Structure 1
């Protein structure tokens, strides 16, 4: 009888040790995370935590109950990346330190538009942003004439720490640009800058992405023939894109960005373009087109002669 009791005690002891070790590992053991977690105030906590591995396990639920039922978890959006234990994850959610801010930079925005957009949303200080941008030019590998970073603030959705500053945002956007366009891939930096200028025009002119290579061919063909680019987008850049439509009176503005008046590319980019625009600038379609005009649905009609160009406009005037 004593032997049986002794055996049961040993079995229970080992079982408890194994169970304790398992529970310890589940709470203290590290798991690799790379996810965005959104904790909403008016939503059941377990629903918000559903993205977490093993969130539906009994141990997870019991541990959360022991942590005051998760009442200390702070609402917000978290970007969790790296190796963490369950205990550390709950610590992060209770401290609120992992909370992030989502910032989307639209394609084709100029720096002035980006700054105005971020300032309007109370996410940056305008003067501090420009001060930090000036400092960034010291180490950036591509041309920034007179500290001009137009074209390099890559349009993307960024996830930043809740308490991010202007330097963090700028560095994040520039790093994203260099990730998309590694400096070692483009040894001729002056050529790259010219392509970037072209890409910035394509970004503003073409609403349909598939038209970008065709539009690039039009601009290159015009340059080869000694014609002006005659891009409304470059003129509108002078007016900070405040014009919904460019009229003949607007074309009288004396600026190197007025490509109706001055031949060749403008001196710098007019927007911050996406990858496909730069790809089109480097790889234009092979066409004989010299003109294009908007059709009204976002696409364009391309033509080889001015006569054909005018004829299309006349037929579609109304």
Structure 2
């Protein structure tokens, strides 16, 4: 049995303790019984927490004496706590102390021997002192506490036997659940994979379509919209659209030959002809395809530097301004190397005119002479169209190209003109008036028929246009009142209010449509016509009264309003 450790003992407690130990030892020896090992066992955690059991001390009559006071220092973990005697202990207690020490030591030795024998028999570790027992108790307590903690952890982390040995139903249900979970996971994974594949396909298809659209759109556009410099390109006979596209791409005329191939097939361009073509990087695919259908030249010609546009109904003075403008360039106000003054000087040059008369005899067979009152001999003989010019072009060559175009257009009609007892100058003079008076082919034929009716009836043509031309106002910007209030008494061969016939010559360059209308006029009973000054629509009349009403309604009233 282990007593509670204390640092200080009173006299009474020490005496009672010694006497109690002696009495117990004597009783045990008398009974010749060994101490029970349980008495030497370390009390449990719960026992140590119980309050100490009180033992009634047995009264022993002893002579009064003063017991020494011992100062017990804190015991070391591995050493017994030594007893320190009080220096002030009286001398009369020395004998008693010696006797008591001898009895205590003898009893302790006896007790230790008995306990050691019992321990050896029962394999119980001996307890020699309070400090040693305390240390051993603390170690045992720590070991038990750690073992308890480990057992608790094992209980928490290890499943019970019941959990380790589930029933068949539980195991099968868990297996089914695991299978279902695995199936769901597989389905989810497969769905994700399919979704990713679909998204990738959509992106690839969309990207390819977008790239293809931009590729084709870019290929259709001109290679360089600002570069009008033409090159002479030779297209061999029998070349396919694929081969032509490759040639044009090599010559830096188009962006992509494959786009040209599929574009011409999609637009139904076919029957490309061989020859030399002057093509520029600013041309569209449709323009190039159209030229290839028209055909090239047998020999290369100088590339064009630009174009000159001559609209229908232009006078010579207007054409002189047009030849200074390069209409084939995308640049604003692009100019040609020709001047207006050089143009007007050339068209009035007798030597040049004689040269042209000799070159185109049928066209100029009825050309009026200079002393006939004509303003410009070549007026109306330059055909309205678009003309190319090259580095070697001159003003004379440009004018000659226009005269040559007029001759080419009239060549099919020379015989018809002769059969109708007309001259080229008469046809061109009447066609020039028709060009300005009408806006469509039907009106042109009716206007031409009305002119013929008036001439057949011995009337003058009565056209305001010839007077405006004589005054130098035709083709210029004039007001409606100026156009209506002309001087019908003007002394000029171009006054067709006072002079009968076709007039001295054309007042502008008529179109082929107007020429055809003069050669094939409409058969009608009209003698008069007037055009609405706001819409240009032509109203015809058979009598002068109807004509005056139309003039008041479509001219005077609208001018005054």
Aligned residue in 1 for 2:224: 40
Deviations along 1:46-93, one digit per CA (max 9) or x if unpaired, are xxx9x9963654x986897xxxxxxxx997779893469xxx9xxx9x
CA–CA distance in 1 between the matches of 2:446 and 2:251? 60
Shift in CA distance, 159/39, structure 1 to aligned 2, threshold 3 Å: farther
Q: CA deviation at 1:226?
A: 1.9
Matched, 1:151 2:380: yes
Does structure 1 retain, via aligned residues, the 8 Å contact 2:347–2:378? no
CA–CA distance in 1 between the matches of 2:497 and 2:444? 20
**Number of residue-to-residue matches in the alignment:** 257
Does structure 2 retain, via aligned residues, the 8 Å contact 1:294–1:301? yes
Aligned residue in 2 for 1:26: none
Aligned residue in 2 for 1:227: 459
> 2:512 pairs with 275, 293, 300, which one?
275
Does structure 2 retain, via aligned residues, the 8 Å contact 1:101–1:162? no
Deviations along 1:174-206, one digit per CA (max 9) or x if unpaired, are 221121111753573853322221111111221
Q: CA deviation at 1:286?
A: 0.8
Does structure 2 retain, via aligned residues, the 8 Å contact 1:129–1:166? no
CA–CA distance in 1 between the matches of 2:250 and 2:501? 69
Q: CA deviation at 1:291?
A: 0.9
Does structure 2 retain, via aligned residues, the 8 Å contact 1:256–1:266? yes
Q: Give the secondary structure class of the aligned counterpart of 1:264.
A: coil
Spell out the pairing of 1:195-210 with structure 2 (5 A cutoff): 195-210=427-442
Matched, 1:311 2:549: yes
Spell out the pairing of 1:160-199 with structure 2 (5 A cutoff): 160-182=389-411, 185-186=415-416, 188=418, 191-199=423-431
Aligned residue in 2 for 1:54: 243
> 1:297 pairs with 535, 541, 551, which one?
535
Deviations along 1:199-258, one digit per CA (max 9) or x if unpaired, are 111112212332011001111111122222110111111122146233445323210101
CA–CA distance in 2 between the matches of 1:62 and 1:258? 61
Deviations along 1:83-136, one digit per CA (max 9) or x if unpaired, are 69xxx9xxx9xxxx5233211111011222212332475534232454334532
CA–CA distance in 2 between the matches of 1:274 and 1:193? 14
Shift in CA distance, 149/249, structure 1 to aligned 2, threshold 3 Å: closer
Which 10-residue stretch deviates more, 293-302 or 176-185? 176-185
> 2:359 pairs with 121, 131, 139, which one?
139
Shift in CA distance, 263/300, structure 1 to aligned 2, threshold 3 Å: same
Q: Note the residue ranges of structure 2 that are not aligned, 5 or more in a row.
A: 1-221, 228-232, 236-240, 253-278, 326-334, 371-376
Does structure 2 retain, via aligned residues, the 8 Å contact 1:39–1:74? no
Aligned residue in 2 for 1:104: 309
Spell out the pairing of 1:59-138 with structure 2 (5 A cutoff): 81-82=296-297, 98-119=303-324, 121-122=335-336, 123-124=338-339, 125-126=342-343, 127-131=345-349, 132-133=352-353, 135-138=355-358
Q: Which has the higher contact order (CA 8 A, sep 6+)?
A: 1
Does structure 2 retain, via aligned residues, the 8 Å contact 1:99–1:161? yes
Greater C-alpha radius of gyration: 2
Does structure 2 retain, via aligned residues, the 8 Å contact 1:208–1:299? no
Q: Give the TM-score, by structure 1 length.
A: 0.68
